[in-house]
Amino acid sequence: MQFAVSSAPHLSRIHAVQTFMTQPDAAPPPAAGTPPAPARPRQASLIQVAGAVFWSFFGVRKGRHMQQDAATIKPLQVVVIGVLLAAGIVFALLALVRFIVRNAS
């Protein structure tokens, strides 16, 4: 038994996807009488990200601060600051141990 393969439906799907992917995203105009969309929260500063990561090391964070962090902090910022703070804590502990061992006698 042989199946007839038509390339036309396949090509039309590809064309439809390419057309969809290349057209600019245009938001529909707002309806009359609707309130404007709320402004996006501004991006968190380096100090705010460091504070959020520092307190998350201890597992202490208030609910409203977590919601604010979720809206203003990007995951990449958390990862970078988290690795840097963890390395800083490790190096501080190593320095403390070396200081104590050298001055033990």
Going residue by residue through the chain, which has 105 residues, state the pLDDT in tens, using 9 for 90 and above: 555 555 555 556 665 656 655 655 666 666 667 776 666 667 888 888 888 888 888 887 777 877 887 788 888 999 999 999 999 999 999 999 999 999 987
| Alpha helix positions (H), the chain | 7-22, 46-58, 63-72, 75-102
In a domain, 85, yes or no: yes
In a domain, 94, yes or no: yes
Q: What is the pLDDT of residue 94?
A: 98
Q: Which of 95, 91, 46, 99 is nearest to 73 (CA)?
A: 46
Tokens 């707002």: give the residue: 30
Structural domains of the chain, count:
1
Give the structural domain span for 94: 41-105
Q: What is the pTM of this model?
A: 0.54
Q: How many CA atoms lie within 13 A of 81 on its CB side?
A: 20
In a domain, 16, yes or no: no
In a domain, 23, yes or no: no
Rounded Cα–Cα distance for residues 13 and 9 (Å): 6
